[in-house]
Amino acid sequence: MYYQGVKKSIVPRPVNPMKAGLAELHPVLQRLFLARGITSLAQLDRSLATLPSPWLLSGMEAMVSHLQLAIDRQRHICIVADFDADGATSCATAIKGLQLLGAGQVSFVVPNRFEYGYGLTPEIVELVKQQNPDVIITVDNGISSVEGVQAAKAAGMTVLVTDHHLPGPVVPAADAIVNPNQVGDAFPSKALAGVGVIFYVLMALRGRLREQHWFANNQRQEPNLAQLLDYVALGTVADVVALDPVNRTLVYQGLQRIRTGRGHPGLQALVEVSGKNPQTLAASDLGFSLGPRLNAAGRMDDMSLGIQCLLTDDPGLARDMAVELDGLNNDRREVEGVMKHEAMTLLSDMKALDKNPSLAGVCLFDANWHQGVIGILASRIKDRLHRPVIAFAPAGNGIIKGSARSIPGVHIRDVLSDIAALHPKLLSKFGGHAMAAGLSIKMPDYPPFALAFDEMVGKRLATMDLEQKILSDGELAEHEITLEIADLIQNAATWGQEFPEPVFDGVFDVLQARIVGQRHLKLVLRKPGGDLVIDAIAFFIDQPEQWLGIRQIKAAYKLDINEFRGNRSVQFILQYLEKLA
């Protein structure tokens, strides 16, 4: 099997039989959309006019009132950002947007992951106070910052929280909070990333200023906030939030700006150093190529570099900073590779664990691990074991920080919340989403926490089918494996989290197989009895040499377009391999 681990199988994706509303589409597209719950062309509309009103977000009235007052009185606004790609793009969106809307002095503070940790803590407030701002706006954080908001208010600052993380039992006493996941919030999308939330705040603020003729009265041109959508697209995809109708529209519109050369210089430079063609950039490229390079700043050094890269209007400076981010990403890959090897050593009998896992929830710790890479490490091990995983690294002063990744059906933040309720002294801090979370514990509490985590996850896994199923959109006939169909699929929708990119399957004869790089497998395939010869590649194979000499495989694949020296050809990106002969 490709990616050895727990048992996997290919199963057909269920298809909604109602198709009258899609009759004018190509039959392959009809099949794909019906399997994803799309039954009418209206559901595929990605124009900005389809976006719901920002005023549906609770707290928006208070948020806009405070921001308008800050602009009218030219108060100093300080943005407090998170140190990941969503936080960086949120920060850039807030700064550029507020400046476009008339704010005179806007600065930012982004916590260094290794010194301050996440969110608006009292320690970060002390750092912010050095800039002497009148207003703090949190982006992609703040909903759990009860003590930090209290400290900022005590220092005389107005505190405005924009966030998308799940609120805890106590919310901070901020002057205004906008978060679609607040209890009772009427906004139809609960999947907005932090960058989507601040973009919606800016849209509401512009609407209020327009109503009051602020732009005309101040002899300013009303800005087109769509120019910020390249930031919104990158942050949304990089944060792996669900691409529901709202997010699909935001990402599509942002991609269109990048493809037509209207993206910000820093973002265009990230496209260039990643080796991608901006004219054909896809949502997956934002997640797998641009996002990691931007994230590398926060993981390996300081996210200020990533934010400055996004903000600069100087193409040359943007290029220099993008190259530096690319170098940091290479460093991250090396550290991650070492850590993954060490993690596999900790799971000493990996094959036995693959066949009969003894742990429901896996905790891993090494005193030499890097805080900035444990999230990626947890994700890699989770994919291997198909179990929730938390990877821990030392954070100083007897504290270790953990980054958790989960599987469908196990809400990881709820697991941590249940542990905190049963063992209130175990968890210092925690927060996050259904599939990812962060936490801090004391080093001596690691063994009892690992036991509690395994027990709590075990209760949830008891009723789950843990065989990994690869949902397939069926087979493609030879006449459907064409550049035209590949282009249709690529451009028909914004594919991503919870609106998955199409995956097909079939049986193929293997005409050639060779190893490229260190762990990639390049194949030449043909359907049994067919004429069409197809190039295929599988990335990051465990023991790729075992596939040399194989005559026939069953495979799940994405239909892709390979561009090389101006030539375009169809290729398969293999997601799963099974030996047949």
Q: What is the rounded CA–CA span in Å between residue 92 and residue 311? A: 6
Q: What is the rounded CA–CA span in Å between residue 62 and residue 220? A: 24
Comparing 86 with 428, the larger pLDDT belongs to: 86
**pLDDT surpasses 50 at 2:** no
Alpha-carbon distances, residue 209 vs 74, 202, 217 (angstroms): 15, 10, 10
What is the reported pLDDT for 102?
95
Beta strands in 237-328 (DSSP E): none
Q: Considering the chain, tell me which residue range(s) the CATH 3.10.310.30 domain(s) occupy.
A: 347-468
What is the reported pLDDT for 256?
97
Q: pLDDT of 116-164, one tens digit each?
A: 667 899 999 999 999 999 999 999 999 989 999 999 999 999 999 999 9
Q: What is the rounded CA–CA span in Å between residue 13 and residue 37? A: 11
Q: Considering the chain, tell me which residue range(s) the CATH 2.40.50.460 domain(s) occupy.
A: 8-35+473-579
**pLDDT surpasses 70 at 17:** no
Q: What is the rounded CA–CA span in Å between residue 461 and residue 468? A: 13
Contacts 24+ apart (CB under 8 A), 517-520: 519/544, 520/544
Q: Minimum mean pLDDT among 19-23, 90-94, 202-206, 325-329: which range?
A: 19-23
The full 3-state SS of 181-246, as one line of letters, equals CCCCCCCCCCCCCHHHHHHHHHHHHHHHHHHCCHHHHCCCCCCCHHHHHHHHHHHHHHCCCCCCHH
What is the reported pLDDT for 353?
47
Q: Minimum mean pLDDT among 1-10, 276-285, 373-382, 436-445: which range?
A: 1-10
**pLDDT surpasses 80 at 47:** yes
Alpha-carbon distances, residue 149 vs 119, 121, 197, 356, 406 (angstroms): 10, 8, 19, 47, 30
Share of the chain above pLDDT 70, in %: 95
Helix, strand, or coil (residue 73):
coil
What is the reported pLDDT for 296?
85
Q: pLDDT of 220-273, one tens digit each?
A: 999 999 999 999 999 999 998 999 999 999 999 999 999 999 999 999 999 999
Closest-CA residue to 495 (of 235, 284, 271): 284
Q: What is the rounded CA–CA span in Å between residue 527 and residue 258? A: 37
Helix, strand, or coil (residue 176):
strand
pLDDT band at 571 (very low <50, low <70, confident <90, very high): very high
Closest-CA residue to 350 (of 359, 407, 368): 359
* Helices 85-100, 229-238: inter-axial angle, 10-degree rounding: 160
pLDDT band at 113 (very low <50, low <70, confident <90, very high): low
pLDDT band at 297 (very low <50, low <70, confident <90, very high): confident
Return the residue matching tokens 């896992």.
357
CATH number of 54-328: 3.90.1640.30
**pLDDT surpasses 70 at 5:** no
CATH number of 347-468: 3.10.310.30
In 360-445, which residue ranges form alpha helices assigned H by DSSP?
Answer: 374-385, 412-422
Output DSSP code: residue 499: B
Q: pLDDT of 474-509, one tens digit each?
A: 999 999 999 999 999 999 999 998 999 999 999 999
CATH assignment of 8-35+473-579, among 3.40.50.300, 3.40.1030.10, 2.40.50.460, 3.90.380.10: 2.40.50.460
What is the reported pLDDT for 357?
54
Q: pLDDT of 505-564, one tens digit each?
A: 999 999 999 999 878 999 999 999 999 999 999 998 878 898 999 999 999 999 999 988
What is the reported pLDDT for 514?
94
Q: Considering the chain, tell me which residue range(s) the CATH 3.90.1640.30 domain(s) occupy.
A: 54-328
